[in-house]
Amino acid sequence: MAHLGRREHRGKGLLVVLLLAAVTGGGVAAWLGLRQGPLPSVAISSDRPAVGPATRVTARFAEPQRGLGGVRLELQQGERVEVLGERTFPRPGVLGGARTGETALEAQVGTRHQAWLQEGEVVVRAVAERAVGYLRSAAPVIVETRLPVRLHPPRLGVLSKQHYVRQGGVGSVVAQVDPAAVRSGVLAGTREFRSFPLPGGASGQVFVIYGMPWEGVTAADVRLFAEDAAGNRAEQAFVDLFKPVARRPGSIEIDDAFLQRVVPSIVGQTPGLDASGSLLDQYLRINGALRRAILTQLGELCAKSEERFLWEGPFLQMPNSARMAGFAETRTYRYQGRVVDTQTHLGLDLASTSRAEVPAANRGRVTFAGWLGLYGNAVLLDHGFGVATLYGHLSEIVVEAGEVVEKGQSVGRSGTTGLAGGDHLHLEVFVQGLSVDPAEWLDAHWIQDNLASKLPLPPPTRSRVES
């Protein structure tokens, strides 16, 4: 700053001469504008509206005409000032030279980085100085933003009791959350399940239906959480009993006849899928990369869930069907005697007669009806609050996206489309995009003990006989 002041002073010798010239040519104000150039533009933004543990603050500076001389980002609370970032730029040479027309400074603000911060308010200050010239004033441009500082996590309390959950299964919890919380839910490993306001509940009462990922998560990794706008986070363990489930091995033999039946059909109906290499190469891409892409697509579809219970009572299993393969069967795929792939089966395979009528497992809205890669012809039903069911390998679909189907109403017929060895229904249940064990949802006792005992589920109103 001292340096810039001197520069300004030295310019004054020429000022008088030029002032005379300028008065004849135009207004003084216009001349001053020409001499100083436009003011640098300075803008401060932050990724959170408040400061807590860590808020990212960004200052953007621009002076495209003559360039910037230096920029600085400061944090102030009370008397204390901390320089968060600073940059100076070399003065362009007499014959011109590189000018810095724009730049940005970014810093983390919060107790993780400035342990001295206290509740209250901070000032974030961005200072821009213009490149110095003989005729230029270098008065800095200063922009300030005030952000509230909040250091206490939101209050969080568990209201429900008896939280039992199995590996790959589902649990529910009811909680009281501080009004300051902007986000709350259940964290299970790296998966986050959002909360919803409890229907009929008091202010701040929320509930979460969450899934336990099949792999790598135990009760210690499951916590209720609430976060405020400043990023202060409260977490609380609540699972009373966690039941690990043994991995079920499975083996699938792949032969050329199978590859010839399924691969060209899936490739032909999946635009953009890499169709190079042998049938086995293509099959492995379908079972690997395409499987993951489809799960991402399903996650997006599941995110558009209605905020009401569309379903009631236990979910229906396809009538007169046998359970052929269960949830989380870890399948080893063999081709000509060697292991070529391993995948975990995340649904329930149900076989009846071929082209059997497939009923909606419960009341829901059709969110997808059509071709879905390895699932073949498939229907996805949203049952509300993040719960969805998928019906795969159908030979025929009789519903359309958007319509509401009743429990037991046909969605289509079983078949062999997609990656299916024989005629069967692949039933998959999702909770906020995570595949969970469908067997729980088919069990009236499980529904009663784990969901109905905690949540205000709609009472069964229909007298439909559940076969």
Is the Cβ of residue 215 or residue 400 nearer to Zn ion in the bound state? Answer: 215
Shortest reach from residue 407's CB to Zn ion, in Å: 22
Q: Which 3 state secondary structure label does DSSP give 408? A: coil
426 binds Zn ion (CB under 5 A): yes
Neighbour count for residue 405 (Cβ, 10 Å): 20
x/- track of binding to Zn ion for residues 288-327 (CB under 5 A): ----------------------------------------
Is the Cβ of residue 223 or residue 426 nearer to Zn ion in the bound state? Answer: 426
| 116 Cβ contact list (under 8 Å, min separation 6) | 77, 80
Is the Cβ of residue 11 or residue 376 nearer to Zn ion in the bound state? Answer: 376
Is the Cβ of residue 347 or residue 376 nearer to Zn ion in the bound state? Answer: 347
**CA-to-CA distance for 43 and 3, rounded, in angstroms?**
25
| Options 130-138, 298-306, 354-362, 422-430: segment touching Zn ion (CB under 5 A) | 422-430
Left, alpha or beta for 120 (phi > 0: left; psi -120 to 50: alpha)? left
Q: Which 3 state secondary structure label does DSSP give 265? A: helix
Shortest reach from residue 349's CB to Zn ion, in Å: 4
**CA-to-CA distance for 347 and 39, rounded, in angstroms?**
63
Is the Cβ of residue 181 or residue 348 nearer to Zn ion in the bound state? Answer: 348
Q: Which 3 state secondary structure label does DSSP give 276? A: coil
Shortest reach from residue 374's CB to Zn ion, in Å: 10
| Options 87-95, 144-152, 220-228, 347-355: segment touching Zn ion (CB under 5 A) | 347-355
329 binds Zn ion (CB under 5 A): no
Rounded to 10 deg, the angle between the 12-25 and 28-36 helix axes is 130
H-helix segments, 26-122: 28-36
349 binds Zn ion (CB under 5 A): yes
Q: Got the DSSP string for 93-125?
A: BTTB-----EEEEEEEESTTT-TT--SEEEEEE
- Residues in contact with Zn ion, total (CB under 5 A)? 3
Is the Cβ of residue 251 or residue 453 nearer to Zn ion in the bound state? Answer: 251
Shortest reach from residue 459's CB to Zn ion, in Å: 33
Is the Cβ of residue 247 or residue 304 nearer to Zn ion in the bound state? Answer: 247
Quote the tokens at residue 46. 């932050």
Is the Cβ of residue 349 or residue 382 nearer to Zn ion in the bound state? Answer: 349
Asked if 436 and 429 count as a contact pair (C-beta separation under 8 A), the reply is yes
Quote the tokens at residue 273. 């899928």
In the list 37, 67, 169, 347, the residue contacting Zn ion (rule: CB under 5 A) is 347
**CA-to-CA distance for 416 and 358, rounded, in angstroms?**
13
Is the Cβ of residue 347 or residue 386 nearer to Zn ion in the bound state? Answer: 347
| Options 20-28, 150-158, 291-299, 341-349: segment touching Zn ion (CB under 5 A) | 341-349
Shortest reach from residue 393's CB to Zn ion, in Å: 7
Shortest reach from residue 246's CB to Zn ion, in Å: 20
Shortest reach from residue 325's CB to Zn ion, in Å: 6
| Options 71-79, 175-183, 189-197, 349-357: segment touching Zn ion (CB under 5 A) | 349-357
Q: Give the burial class of 269: count Cβ atoms within 10 A of its Cβ; 0-12 exposed, 13-18 middle, 19 or more buried.
A: middle
Nearest to 175 by CA among 194, 151, 188, 192: 194
Shortest reach from residue 427's CB to Zn ion, in Å: 8
Nearest to 315 by CA among 232, 371, 391: 391
Shortest reach from residue 415's CB to Zn ion, in Å: 13
Q: Nearest 5°: CA angle at 355, between 354 and 357?
A: 120
Left, alpha or beta for 360 (phi > 0: left; psi -120 to 50: alpha)? beta
Residue whose beta carbon is closest to Zn ion: 426
Binding site for Zn ion (CB under 5 A): 347, 349, 426
